Structure 1
């Protein structure tokens, strides 16, 4: 997989393991080791493995944008858990370029009673097709395709339709999963709440802080063994050492009963 450290700056591939750690009250509660190059497909196996071994189901699951997917949303929803996952377009949608791009469906008006989108020119994009899309994990998502009835002589076509097709032949269309849009909107409302902000801030401090401490303070940069099983043993030993250090630190600072950092106290 591609590493964050790339001395040659050529995107070279290196043998590596994807380490997943879950934290609670600043302690590492579980960890897994896998070959996945991205985090998206690691969430469900991680939660299942953790529930199987420690027999605990967490109500709130907080993760960064790399874990957002319809499959993950649906799993948490079905499992009675609340997702606090930052949408992968959360930062981009704040930019002026994103907000002024009239070709994006997010910037179009949606008429729910008619199930149509309205472009900047006021023309309707209606649902023309519905099909099942299957992911690499086998998850099936129902996707709806919306197309404009008539894009001819549209003065905004060059701004709405970004593709390599000749301008006169372009017709605006896009595909969406209605379930995913609903899930993302509900999740966005949760992470924007006071509770969601505190949980997201603490995820950054606790989860990212655990990796930072192991890499920087404990100077652990490379596994000494090979093979998923052996690497998992190393990871668990490292997590135990980290938890012992964290326990000592919390007792010394009088924070043993503190589970979350208050947002007001975070710089």
Structure 2
């Protein structure tokens, strides 16, 4: 008690965990039977403090419980848990309650006045999975191999059926019929001669095993174009940490964080590489757990899509989404590019575009464009009245025919409204805070906490790791703000000369 300072972060952690509703944690244990060797609440404190200190290995945590004075103080006289107990607690107990515990802490921070549910800043990053870099399975290759295999199975069934007089064409039925004809035991090894029946049965078994393997692969893809054999929930993605500088794909997860007042208030782990498709599930899950909706949400250009704009229409939440072409639109090259729709004159009455050469692009027809998530967008198709003889055609289009445009009028209107919002005084302030708070959270995790790769495998366990780390981050942030007398502060103000 005397050695540990009164304002140490371990004391704040201990008091905060005691104030939390820990019923989700206790629900993972049975009421009857043998008591756990270490109190689950104590183990939770140990795991959180280990993450606060950047210690993730169960063996390192066990060592810290025996040597570090802060861990010993948390144990409160109890015997230090061994690494088996720590690993089981993290991989078997916490997955069932980690998300509820995280949002319990977020609600507690809300009660303390640290979170006001006003300004949410969302960002994503890729974190490498604990999987072999060369254990990839590609959907296109699997589909091609599966098609060839099915043709081969059909051919073998025909051949075997003619040889033995089997009428059925289903491979499984043909194999059963062949196995019923076996009268002598199969032989293996050097110097042994297999019968034709044994060779046919083994051949068909091998083909059916491969067919089952490819069918299992197709189930595992779940809309992705690849996965890792080591961790089937991981998807091969481009990572920012590209030390070889060859754009190597590595198995990883797309991690989404929502930050307010420098605290992480929402967490999501996805196998989907695109930020656009992860945002709506992330917001729905966070709103469901918090029971509240934010006044505004600020996002970077990676989230801009008609689907995400439409998601916020009709709600009380204002979205500040940076345009994908926002930075490029300021350049001279963009403004001089005659091929871009933005540089063509539009007549809203006649609903036609006029290129810089004075030629008209008129409406041909309308259609529906469907995204990977199933969202349907109404698109208008325009075509130039005639590009023949145009001296600037090579600068405008590469097609042999006329210049064509595909335009979603709703998306253009939504983009114009978003541009007005993000360039307003409030929008500039929120975008500045997004780069400080949400990107800063990832910077602290990767650089200060040295968390660049997951330890566990599988979506459920990986999510548990991230919930623990996010809770630890919030505890460290609360402690830092108390020491710096910044509690209750939500936004960084813009500095002016």
Q: Please tell me the TM-score bracket, short chain as reference.
A: over 0.9
Within a 5 Å distance, the mapping from 1:151-190 to structure 2 comes to 151-161=387-397, 163=398, 165=399, 169-190=400-421
Distance 2:418 2:312 in 1: 11
Q: Given the alignment of the two structures, is residue 263 of structure 1 paired with residue 490 of structure 2, yes or no? A: no
Question: Post-superposition shift, 1:4?
Answer: 1.2
Q: Identify the match of residue 265 of structure 2 among 29, 45, 54.
A: 29
Tell me the equivalent position of 1:53.
289
More strand by share: 1
Q: CA deviation at 1:81?
A: 2.1
Q: For 1:146 and 1:113, how far apart are their aligned partners in 2?
A: 15
Match of 1:179, SS state, is: helix
Give 4+ residue runs of structure 1 displaced > 3 Å after superposition.
Answer: none
State the Cα distance separating 1:80 from its structure 2 match: 3.4
Say what the alpha-carbon RMSD is for the aligned residues: 1.4
User: Which of 216-225 and 2-11 deviates more?
Assistant: 2-11
Q: Secondary structure at the match of 2:342?
A: helix
Which residue among 190, 205, 209 is the counterpart of 2:440? 209
Query: Which whole-Å deviations, capped at 9, do the CAs of 1:225-259 have from their partners, x for residues lacking one?
Result: 11111111111111111111111211222221210
Find the aligned partners of 2:420 and 2:470 in 1 and give their Cα distance.
33
Structure 1 match to 2:336: 100
Structure 1, residues 190-240: CA drift from partner, whole Å, max 9, x if none?
Answer: 000000000000000000000101111111122121111111111111111
Q: Report whether the alignment pairs 1:12 with 2:248.
A: yes
Higher RCO, 1 or 2 (CA under 8 Å, sep at least 6)? 2
Aligned to 2:484: 253
1:83 counterpart SS class: strand
Question: Is the radius of gyration larger for structure 1 or structure 2?
Answer: 2
Structure 2 residue corresponding to 1:132, chosen from 361, 368, 371: 368
Secondary structure, counterpart of 1:263 in structure 2: coil
Distance 2:253 2:389 in 1: 53
Query: What's the offset of the Cα at 1:2?
Result: 1.6
Any idea what SS the aligned residue of 1:229 has? helix
> Shift in Å at residue 123 of structure 1?
1.7
The answer to which structure has the higher helix fraction is 2
Map of 2:55 onto structure 1 = none
Match of 2:377 among 132, 141, 148: 141
* Uncovered stretches (5+) of structure 2, i.e. residues with no partner: 1-236
Distance in 1, matches of 2:405 and 2:456, equals 48
Alpha-carbon distance, 1:159 to partner: 2.2
Q: TM-score, normalised by structure 1?
A: 0.94
Q: Any stretches of 5+ residues in structure 1 without a counterpart?
A: none
Distance 1:233 1:182 in 2: 40
Q: What count of residue pairs does the alignment treat as equivalent?
A: 261
Q: Residue by residue, what CA displacement relative to the aligned partner does 1:110-133 show, whole Å, maximum 9, x if unpaired?
A: 111111111101221111110001
